[in-house]
Structure 1
Amino acid sequence: MTAREEKFTRQTVLEVQPLAPGLFTLRTTRDQGFRFRSGQFARLGVGKADGSTVWRAYSMVSSPYDEFLDFFSIVVPGGEFTSELSRLQEGDTLLVDKQSFGFLTLDRFGDGRDLWLLATGTGVAPFISILQDFEVWERFERIILVYSAREGRELAYQPLIAELGQRDHLAEYAHKLQYIPVVTREEHPGALHGRITTLIANGELERTAGLALTPEHSRIMLCGNPQMIHDCRALLKQRDMQLSLTRRPGQVAVENYW
């Protein structure tokens, strides 16, 4: 075993589930010593035919209290990592770094009334984890999950999102969550049509939520397409909402591992 491999554990694939063309979920065993906070990511390693290993960062979809690890992936045509990851089957091995990473966690915000979770594509993964953690339901009065995909069939985890409020320990908090699906390339029943940035700029997102984006009350997490993150940050900056840093608390938190 090399010095690098000693930093990782070998986990067994329990389930691979296709969701739509080019999208799938992956469940693995979890090492008892692996700890993470909702919203963080792990570095995953897959072996190639030539014996080398490719590593990439993936957010945990599962909660910190689950005995397994869930991941959500897109298949990038010709992608060095996702091509190998998508070939894994039940019983195969996936390397998982012993350490968790990332700052898209609730402790980025010291206060705030409304939590906005804005995601595109597989960027919804850390937010699913956050929503399965009791802390978020206690801390915020309103939680707005905005999840954008190109086509309606690419909106993942719909049953899980729908049943969150039915869980025994969350039932009394179910009224806090509002889910707003967004589809960009087609009209889809029950979803807004257009890019998240457009919906912020023209006010439609706030009208749908019945809630204003304000520096005083809003705390916003962004995860997904780098261009979406860049453009959203610019729009929010125009409203005096800044990136939250250790030395300067703000209203916006982002994850950049693309």
Structure 2
Amino acid sequence: MSTWVVGKIIEVKRWTDKLFSLIVQAPVNTFIAGQFTRIGICVNSMIMQRAYSYLNAPNSPNLEFYIATVLEGKFTPLLRDLRSGDTIMLTKEAYGHFILDEIPSCKNLWMLASGTGIGPYLSILEDHNERLNQFSNIVLVHAVRFYKNLNYLSRMKKLKNIYSSKLRVQTIISQEELSGSLFGRIPTLIENNSLEKKVGLNLDVSNSHVMLCGNPQMISDTKEVLKKKYGMKDHMRRNPGHITQERYW
């Protein structure tokens, strides 16, 4: 049974007509970078809720969530219309196993995200957990449809400066071409070797682990390519593998 607490909206960052971020203050329990909470809104005496990853590091005074509006949905349009000073509900507890402690030791860690799936990776990297030291290279990939959707690019660049050569940052845009970004979809760019060539690192089953977060179709298609092309398999505690995906439920 979840314990709900009241959160106060500090700021609403409206990036585009569909993308926004909520900055919230709430007395939640300490979470592990990469985990998620559930945000709720009371509608007709019932709590309507959805799962959202923490984007901020655990030691941040404010909580941050990156959200895409589903125009035909019943929940995200309500979140989009919130203003500073409004309140929402959050579960006091955090959930999920999309965390570094669940990733087996390897040389190269690939963090692949589409859309708002960039959130947990930013939380993990901004946490500066000592477990990051076990990886020689970290590849952070953010795939979006348009350049205007790279709303956290400046933060990604700051992390690149902090981690220096250890962190490789690569953007992918599927609906327009832009210098420096790859054009296409993550699974296609893995299948044709474009992603590996661009970041200058091989996706090798013997020394790599891939984390996937974002659009379910992207995750499904990417896993299929990784399994067929490299012989990778899903990672489980009792059966170690090479692919970890975010699972909210």
On the 8 A contact 1:109/1:250 being kept in 2, the answer is no
User: Separation in 1 of the partners of 2:155 and 2:52?
Assistant: 19
- The alpha-carbon deviation at position 52 of structure 1 amounts to 3.0
Aligned pair partner of 1:8 in 4, 18, 40: 4
- The alpha-carbon deviation at position 215 of structure 1 amounts to 1.4
- The alpha-carbon deviation at position 250 of structure 1 amounts to 1.2
Aligned to 1:229: 219
Aligned to 2:112: 118
1:178 matches 2:186: no
Aligned-residue Cα RMSD (Å) equals: 1.5
Aligned pair partner of 1:100 in 73, 94, 99: 94
1:245 matches 2:236: yes
Aligned to 2:204: 214
On the 8 A contact 2:39/2:89 being kept in 1, the answer is yes
On the 8 A contact 1:17/1:26 being kept in 2, the answer is yes
Q: Deviations over 1:149-169 (max 9, x none)?
A: 010101121111111245xxx
Aligned pair partner of 1:72 in 62, 66, 77: 66
User: Separation in 2 of the partners of 1:55 and 1:139?
Assistant: 36
Matched pairs, number: 247
On the 8 A contact 2:6/2:26 being kept in 1, the answer is no
Aligned to 1:256: 247
On the 8 A contact 2:212/2:245 being kept in 1, the answer is yes
1:34 matches 2:34: no
Q: Deviations over 1:9-64 (max 9, x none)?
A: 10101000011220001110031x5121111110110133x343210000000001
TM normalised by structure 2 equals: 0.94
On the 8 A contact 1:38/1:129 being kept in 2, the answer is yes
Instruction: Give secondary structure in 2 for the equivalent of 1:132.
Output: helix
- The alpha-carbon deviation at position 222 of structure 1 amounts to 0.1
Aligned to 2:125: 131
1:150 matches 2:150: no
On the 8 A contact 2:160/2:169 being kept in 1, the answer is no
Aligned to 1:196: 186
Instruction: Give secondary structure in 1 for the equivalent of 2:5.
Output: strand
5+ residue gaps, structure 1, are none
TM normalised by structure 1 equals: 0.91
User: Separation in 2 of the partners of 1:90 and 1:141?
Assistant: 42
Aligned to 1:43: 38
- Alignment identity in percent? 36
Change (3 A) 1:47 1:189: farther
Instruction: Give secondary structure in 2 for the equivalent of 1:228.
Output: helix
Change (3 A) 1:227 1:162: same
- The alpha-carbon deviation at position 7 of structure 1 amounts to 1.1
User: Separation in 1 of the partners of 2:195 and 2:159?
Assistant: 22
Q: Tell me which amino acid in the other structure corresponds to 1:116.
A: W
On the 8 A contact 2:146/2:173 being kept in 1, the answer is yes
Q: Which 4+ stretches in 1 moved above 2 angstroms?
A: 50-53
